[in-house]
Amino acid sequence: MNSKSPTSRRRFLKSAFVAGAGLTIVPRHVLGGNGFVPPSDQLTKAIIGVGGMGRGHIPYEGTRVVAICDVDRLHLEKAKSMINNEVKTFHDFRDVVQLPEVDIVHIATPPHWHGLMSVEAAKAGKDIWCEKPMTRTIGEGKKVMEAVNAHGRMFRLNTWFRFKDNFYGLGTDVKPLKKVIDSGILGWPLKFTVSGITGYNWKFYWSGEHNLKPMPVPENLDYDMWLGPAPYKPYNPERVHSKFRGYWDYDGGGLGDMGQHYLDPVQYMLGKDDTAPVKIEVDAPQQHYDAVGSWRRIEYTYADGCQIILDGENRDKDAAYIEGPNGKIFRGFRSDIPNLQEFLKTLPDPEPQVSLFSESVKTRKKFALNETNGFWSSTLVNLGIIAVRLGRTLNFDPEKLQFIDDEGANRMINQPMRAPWTI
């Protein structure tokens, strides 16, 4: 064996310590201090897309960054300065997913890349941590779910309110709400209202501009690669980086940005992690073909009568967050059910969930928000976006993943990709 190999060096040092009179072998974790995890015991990750959101992926628990990728040279330089000089930098994500030293691929790009990159990472044998929304279309989400399962990968979507943290402006976390719903005390079916009244801002400032003028592409940006599978449109800074959410080719405005954050916990509380609504009704102005606009109201109805109301105008000033035949729960966990807090103390906790992705990767147990339930909450978002864009009521078959008697809506399930990209 090469005398300079790490194994030989460790043996040499161990022998030297044992031979030294009065010396004690000190475990490495003690030398490193409390909480020290040697690099050899850490999971490794690569981050694709290191703009503002992507740089936030650097410190996540139990991992160290070994590679970063971006089509903007300035993003790469800034991210590298935050990590170390040893981190590898890449321009093309296809090179990153093939790195043998990478355990997990973090995808922090605009949503029009999420599906394609997730599938390629799964094929390459990588576990995946993907930003929300999971995918920009229903068809891409289905292919991600299939690829992750076919290749035995672990997948987490980067929204977490179903298992931790105060749920935006609602004034509580999700756990006590789930306990109350599962008890049946509110009755059935239930109606959720998601609005500014109940604690949720739909961020309509994510609207695009019309008639963008072509402008020169900055020398630090590979705009063709940034577009990737999206239709070609002349460069304008309004389209890229922090502004992309305002254009249908890449995202879906405030609904695309916040929808999965807001709606995934509702899906979980309702026990709808394996299905979708059968009717989507919309009240919205006519939408521009390119630039995202606002909407007034979206109503989702499930086969059993449960509803989710997205009130963009805050019309219902007295809206309960949850309303059932037997009672209501308002923002701040106020309720018209007497002694609800005392009743809550008698209820069992929900089923435990794996809430650390490093645990999921090591144990091969599915993460709390994974490729399957994440697909269905992403589908909630995409159903709403399709209804807004078309401006009409849609009837949906969750088993067939098709709209009923609406070919125009069905064409939006699987949208074409710009050559040579396919999924």
Q: What is the pLDDT of residue 6?
A: 36
* Pair (72, 203) in one structural domain: no
Task: Estimate the crossing angle of helix 174-183 against helix 253-270, to 10 degrees.
Answer: 50
Residue pair 167/262 in contact (Cβ under 8 Å)? The answer is no
Q: What is the number of other CB atoms lying within 10 angstroms of the CB of residue 39?
A: 8
pLDDT in tens, 309-362: 999 999 999 999 999 999 999 999 999 999 999 999 999 999 999 999 999 999
CATH number of domain containing 247: 3.30.360.10
Peptide bond into 420 cis (omega under 30): yes
Instruction: Establish if 18 belongs to a structural domain.
Output: no
* Pair (59, 104) in one structural domain: yes
* Pair (195, 111) in one structural domain: no
Q: What is the pLDDT of residue 42?
A: 87
Q: What is the pLDDT of residue 32?
A: 40
Instruction: Establish if 421 belongs to a structural domain.
Output: no
Question: Partners of 308 in the beta sheet?
Answer: 192, 300
What would the two tokens of residue 83 be?
A: 């990590």
* Pair (141, 178) in one structural domain: no
Instruction: Establish if 28 belongs to a structural domain.
Output: no
* Pair (238, 370) in one structural domain: yes
Average pLDDT score over residue span 89-106: 98
Domain final position from 157, 185, 205? 157
Task: State yes or no: pLDDT of 33 exceeds 50.
Answer: no
Task: State yes or no: pLDDT of 10 exceeds 50.
Answer: no
Instruction: Establish if 23 belongs to a structural domain.
Output: no
Peptide bond into 277 cis (omega under 30): no
Average pLDDT score over residue span 6-23: 37
Q: What is the pLDDT of residue 228?
A: 98
CATH number of domain containing 130: 3.40.50.720
* Pair (313, 368) in one structural domain: yes
Distance CA 309, CA 296 (A): 11
Q: What is the pLDDT of residue 62?
A: 82
Distance CA 304, CA 400 (A): 18
Domain final position from 157, 182, 205? 157
* Pair (373, 238) in one structural domain: yes
pLDDT in tens, 159-192: 999 999 999 999 999 999 999 999 999 999 999 9
| 103: containing domain | 44-157
Give me the number of domains the chain comprises.
2
Query: Which residues have C-beta within 8 Å of that of residue 29, sequence separation ≥ 6?
Result: 36, 37, 38
Q: What is the pLDDT of residue 165?
A: 97
* Pair (197, 127) in one structural domain: no
pLDDT in tens, 351-400: 999 999 999 999 999 999 999 999 999 999 999 999 999 999 999 999 99
Instruction: Establish if 12 belongs to a structural domain.
Output: no
Instruction: Establish if 179 belongs to a structural domain.
Output: yes
pLDDT in tens, 201-253: 999 999 999 999 999 999 999 999 999 999 999 999 999 999 999 999 999 99
* Pair (214, 331) in one structural domain: yes
Q: What is the pLDDT of residue 314?
A: 97
Task: State yes or no: pLDDT of 87 exceeds 80.
Answer: yes
* Pair (140, 212) in one structural domain: no
Q: What is the pLDDT of residue 36?
A: 47
Q: What is the pLDDT of residue 388?
A: 98
With the C-alpha atoms ordered 63, 64, 66, 70, is the resulting torsion angle positive or negative? positive
* Pair (150, 185) in one structural domain: no
Q: What is the pLDDT of residue 40?
A: 57
